[in-house]
Structure 1
Amino acid sequence: MPDTAPAPVLRADRPGSFPHGVLAERHPAIIRQVQESIPYDPERRRALDALLANCTEGVVEPLPADAPDLGRWRDWGLADHVGRPWFDLPWLWSESYFYRQLLQATGYFAPGPWQGIDPFRPAKLAELDAPQTDEELAALDALGDRPADERSRALLHGSLWGNRADLSFRLSAEGADTRAAAPGLVADDSETLWSLLPPSVAGGTLCLVADNAGRELVPDLLLIADLLDRGRIARAVLHLKPHPYYVSDATTADVLDALRRLTAAPGTAAAYGRRLWSAMT
């Protein structure tokens, strides 16, 4: 489409806009939530306080010279953005860099006691242990007597609507976890999907790009278990984040937490969990 003009770059410099709200409200709320959920030592707490002040009133600061991903951020324009106010930068870049700096402040990459500790894991585990998760897993029992195609459709739609369980929004948006679901789909391409996944003895490989952990990841795993059971796929490959990002982005550890949650649940949920456990081994 050579005649199509490029979309304008989104920035967060307009009060009242969604990007501005993310930087001015959501990011500070996330820092405070991290501080409250993990007993970080004084050094880490000071670093988080400094990040809170910096991301709302300061300018972008560079990464340490020994940062493991410094070269990657240089490729992404770090030198052009250092020293500039967060709100004046392309919004996608500034939001992504905020989470990188949050991991820096919590000591995730540095040698020491906090290396590799997910600052968002308490929130993720709380979501897995929430009553809503119990209700959603218990609902699987009612599908046991339904025809196989109907069960598959229900699990597909569960995977779709699980996207409304985005933890990063609910950490900063009051009442977001109780809002009613949207009344319907804008488009439904499920029949096309099923045509690409016919039951077969050989089966194929399904590549699933995981988004969020917790109650969003669980229905994705349930769908995979059903596809394996029905022979629509022979194996599934989950694409995950290499480290915690954007509060709820799913990592390998999050998959294991979700799998343990399923296998420990009563009824049908545990059977799905055991199927996935077996597939992973």
Structure 2
Amino acid sequence: MWEVPGTYARTVFHDRHPKLLRQLAEAFPLTLAQRDALYALVDETLHGPVAPLPPDAPDAATWATWGKGRFARPWAEASFLWAESYFYRRLLDAFGYLGPGAWHGVDPFGPAKSAELRGAAVDDELAGLDELDGLPGGQLRDALLTASLWGNRADLGFLVTAEAAEADTSLLADDSARMWTHLDAHPGGRICWVADNAGRELLPDLVLIDHLLTTGLAAEVTLHVKPRPYYVSDATPRDTLAALRRLRDAGGAAERIGTRLWQAVADGRL
């Protein structure tokens, strides 16, 4: 049960989701049918039972299995993680992402992700890559790993300073030394990389991937992203290409990194 006042889960469904729909209405010229479907979804999550996907949905059978025992019951009786995941799956239907027509394949969260990628904060962070060229190898890779770990909480310019080590003080566990030891002892393999968010979090991931490929610690990197928009900021293949273009257009070290990664994709190494 997550309908307890003051809890994070209740805030998500009662406050965050309605706000998200208002943002979608501002970002897109939604039709009346789309608006009705989106607001009907929010109303269902707050007041109605969980409805299954349409029988002709491509993943209807999968969600029928995942949702066994949850359908036709109040949303608040489902686990929060399942309920929020299913909400975002249903949002794609209401928006028209999976259906035929003009909205097929349009990322409902695309404008927000694009705005972040074009922001001044990203300009500053990419410019900070120019300061990394003179760092010793060990310090460089530790800085890149820390930036990748913390995502948009890290600033590459900050990480080249003497205080960079302080960024690690909140870690519950740190296996970075074991990771580097393993890669040093077994270079040239294939690394599987599971990405999380797009934009400012994906960029430092790509910068570290470039370092692994350039130094020969990896011969190939397989980057796993979401096949379709999920939650708001999760990275998709389209977001990955947008991040690569952002690097290539930035100038300086960022441009060189983006150019190498672009070629790595073409060569099948990324």
Q: Normalising by structure 1, report the TM-score.
A: 0.85
2:27 is equivalent to residue 37 of structure 1: yes
CA distance in 1, matches of 2:20, 2:153: 19
Aligned with 1:243: secondary structure? coil
Which of the pair is proportionally richer in helix?
Answer: 2
Partner of residue 230, structure 2: 245
The verdict on how the C-alpha distance between 1:182 and 1:145 changes in structure 2, with shifts beyond 3 A counting, is: closer
The 5 A counterparts of 1:146-165 are 146-162=135-151, 164=153
Partner of residue 63, structure 1: 53
Q: 2:84 aligns with which of 89, 92, 95?
A: 95
Partner of residue 162, structure 2: none
Partner of residue 259, structure 2: 274
Kindly provide the CA deviation profile for residues 219-275 of structure 1, in whole angstroms up to 9, marking residues without a partner as x: 101100011111111010011111111111111101001000000002111111011
Instruction: Show structure 1 runs of 4+ deviating over 6 A.
Output: none
CA distance in 2, matches of 1:230, 1:49: 51
Q: 1:133 aligns with which of 105, 118, 122?
A: 122
The 5 A counterparts of 1:1-281 are 11-78=1-68, 80-162=69-151, 164=153, 184-198=170-184, 203-281=188-266
Tell whether the 8 Å contact from 2:97 to 2:104 is kept in structure 1 after alignment: yes
CA distance in 1, matches of 2:7, 2:182: 40
CA distance in 2, matches of 1:163, 1:96: 23
The verdict on how the C-alpha distance between 1:207 and 1:163 changes in structure 2, with shifts beyond 3 A counting, is: farther
Matched length: 254
Tell whether the 8 Å contact from 1:199 to 1:231 is kept in structure 2 after alignment: no
The verdict on how the C-alpha distance between 1:189 and 1:163 changes in structure 2, with shifts beyond 3 A counting, is: farther
Q: Which has the higher contact order (CA 8 A, sep 6+)?
A: 1
Kindly provide the CA deviation profile for residues 42-66 of structure 1, in whole angstroms up to 9, marking residues without a partner as x: 2212211222222223322221121
Alignment RMSD? 1.8
Tell whether the 8 Å contact from 2:146 to 2:168 is kept in structure 1 after alignment: no
Kindly provide the CA deviation profile for residues 128-160 of structure 1, in whole angstroms up to 9, marking residues without a partner as x: 011111111111111111112221111110001
Tell whether the 8 Å contact from 1:199 to 1:233 is kept in structure 2 after alignment: no
The verdict on how the C-alpha distance between 1:57 and 1:163 changes in structure 2, with shifts beyond 3 A counting, is: farther
CA distance in 1, matches of 2:11, 2:31: 29
Q: Which moved more, 1:52-61 or 1:123-132?
A: 52-61
The verdict on how the C-alpha distance between 1:44 and 1:182 changes in structure 2, with shifts beyond 3 A counting, is: farther
- Aligned amino acid, residue 273 of structure 1: G
CA distance in 1, matches of 2:183, 2:10: 42
The verdict on how the C-alpha distance between 1:257 and 1:185 changes in structure 2, with shifts beyond 3 A counting, is: same
Q: Normalising by structure 2, report the TM-score.
A: 0.89
Identity %: 51
Q: Which runs of 5+ in 2 are unaligned?
A: 155-166
Q: Which runs of 5+ in 1 are unaligned?
A: 1-10, 166-180
Tell whether the 8 Å contact from 1:12 to 1:23 is kept in structure 2 after alignment: no
CA distance in 1, matches of 2:222, 2:90: 30
